[in-house]
Structures are given as C-alpha cells and as structure tokens.
Copies of this chain bind each other. A is one copy, B any other.
Amino acid sequence: MDAPERLHFEPDAEGDPAALAYTFGGFAPLVSVRPGTVVSTWTMDCFAGRVRSTSDLVSQVCDPRYLNPQTGPFYVEGAEPGDTLAVHFIDIVPRGGRGVSTTVPLFGSLTATAFTAMLHEPLPERTWVYEIDNAAGVVRYDALDSPFTVDLPLDPMHGTVGVAPPLGEVRSSLTPGSWGGNMDTPEMRAGTTCYLGVNVEGALFSLGDGHARQGEGETCGVAVECPMDTILVVDLIKGSPTPWPRLEDDTFLMTTGSARPLEDAFRIAHTEMTRWVQELTGLSAMDAYQLVSQTALTPIANVVDTNYTVVAKVAKAHLPGARAMGGIHDRLRLVR
C-alpha cells in the first residue's frame, strides 16, 4: 500500500458563525479531496462552543440558526449520483478536556416537543459539565442537585455525518435521513466505516456533533457534547448506490433507518439488512429474512431528532464468506 495523500482542514471556528454550514446540501464545498485521502480536521460542538458552564442555558446563549455547525462540506473528486462514499474513522479524540450536556425546552424523548405537541410547560432547562480524561478514558458525570458523581467510559463518536440529500433538498444538520446527517448512533466511532449514497456531484460530505459518549436513544436529546479532533479516510465505491447509510466495523455489518414513527425506522433498517444479507450470501429473500430475524441486534440510536434512527447489526461471523462493499473496510482499517 502506498502512503495515502493527506489533508488537514481547519474549520473557521473563530469567524462569522453565519459562514459555517448548518445544513446538508445548500452550501458550497470548502475544500476538495481525492478518494483515498486521509483527512485530519476538527469539529465544533453542537452548541458552537457557547455552552460553557452549568449556568449557560441553551435558550439563552445559543442562536437557533447556528446550532450543530458542520465541518465541511468536502467535495469528493469523482463522486457522482449512484456511487457510494466510504468514510472510515481512524481516530476521534475529544478536544479541550470538557464536555457539556443540557436539557433543551421542548426537545428530547421524555417531554412534549414541537411535534409531539402538548399543553405542558417545558421541563426545567439545565446544563451539566463533564470533565473528560482522554488518557484515563473516562468522562465524569457530576449531578447538579446532589453530591453524586461517577466516572463513565469515554466512547467518542460523531453524531452527525452526511452528504447532500437527493431531489434538491437542503436539510438541517439537526435532522437524520437517507443522506445520513444527525443519526446520533454511538456506532459512529473510530474503527467504523460509514457508507453513504452519493446524491450530487462531489457528494458534499460534512461532519460534526462530537460526543464524548452517549446512551443509546440519546434520551434527553443531548449527549456529552464536545469539540473533536478527528482523522478519517475518504474513499469512493463507483457505480454502487447505497439507499440508506450503512456502517461496518471489524465485527458487525450495520444498516440504519431514520424516520417516524420509530417502527418505520426499524422497518427501513431491517429491510435494508435483509436485502444486504441476501446480496452478500446469495440467500433467497425469505431465507435472509429468517437469518436476520435470529441474528440482528437492534440498538435505537435516537428518539429525539426530527427523524428517529434505528440501527440493525448482524455479526459478520454469522455470514461466512460475505464480503461487503468489495472488502473496502478491511483495506481502510489498515490506513494510518
């Protein structure tokens, strides 16, 4: 293997917040990358760094137009509709030693929201600050209303990874869908390859929303949010479309569905997995449905965003001989 091309990209975190991308689609690419390039960059947290202490409340310090800024978009050379973009995460490391989480009025899974509209007053708005110790691999939870504290395992990931959507749509970086976006799955960690169908020339890939860790489902709607130093390699699978984002790590093949109600997200993820297993093993549709039924793991990714996300996982050990996406994950996992 030749040494890969390398690119460092520095987002303009200090400039005019209006100059950053808060959407997938609708924003001109900032930089161009050739397939195979190792990109090192960093991402701002979902609050653009404006929530800094337990007294900073999102509704007071943040501008709703400038939530979840993305690093990018990257124009991937040669990417065309019908191709699949492969993004392998080499390293995802919290930057700055602190993360924050909050409640946000009328946002989250255990509260009335703008869509699950009710007559309740919003739940209390609070902010938690987590110390992050990269060396020890822990994030420290400190309760606000009692002295309780506990160290939780660090598990850094990106909540938001995506490309420009199809049909000329421009979607908020707070929304997940077939283009990726704000899926908020903890599976998007270092060691994982993410496959995204390309909808427009150049793909227009961007990423953000680093989480030092999150629970599955992201119950309150906000993870341990932090800026992130990230190294990834971008590659391209020509002539092979991917209708919904897929992931692969050393152990699992994964499909995603992002929709409402949550059972539709489940149905998409599992229909996609059934088709993928069928294609990789030569099984009939009904045989693949049966094998998925007995082997799938089904972590919920989020039940808080404008679409909900479900992940279906099948261990590669249960699919002897299967080789996904031409074996690209096995190749990219060796890139350093």
Contact = CB atoms under 8 A, between A and B. Distances in A.
B217 A270 contact: yes
A261 B124 CA distance: 26
B112 A118 contact: yes
Contacts of A101: 290, 293-294
Contacts of A117: 110, 257, 264, 267-268, 270-272
A140 B278 CA distance: 18
A274 B143 CA distance: 14
Contacts of A143: 283-284, 287, 291
Nearest to A258: B115
A214 B219 CA distance: 26
A336 interface: no
Interface stretch (A1-9, A45-53, A167-175, A228-236): A167-175
B167 A169 contact: no
A210 to B, nearest CB: 14
A31 interface: no
B262 A145 contact: no
B286 A123 contact: yes
Nearest to A122: B120
Interface stretch (A20-28, A89-97, A201-209, A325-333): A20-28
Given A168-B22, A217-B270, A294 B141 contact: yes
Contact of A215 (B115, B221, B287, B293): B293
Given A112-B112, A115-B268, 17 more contacts: A23-B167, A109-B263, A112-B120, A114-B268, A115-B259, A117-B271, A118-B267, A144-B284, A146-B282, A146-B284, A216-B298, A218-B293, A221-B293, A260-B264, A262-B263, A263-B308, A300-B300
Interface of A: 22-23, 25-26, 64-65, 101, 103, 109-112, 114-121, 123-124, 126, 128, 139, 141, 143-146, 148, 150, 152, 167-172, 213-224, 257, 259-264, 266-268, 270-272, 274, 281-287, 289-300, 303, 308, 310, 312, 318-320
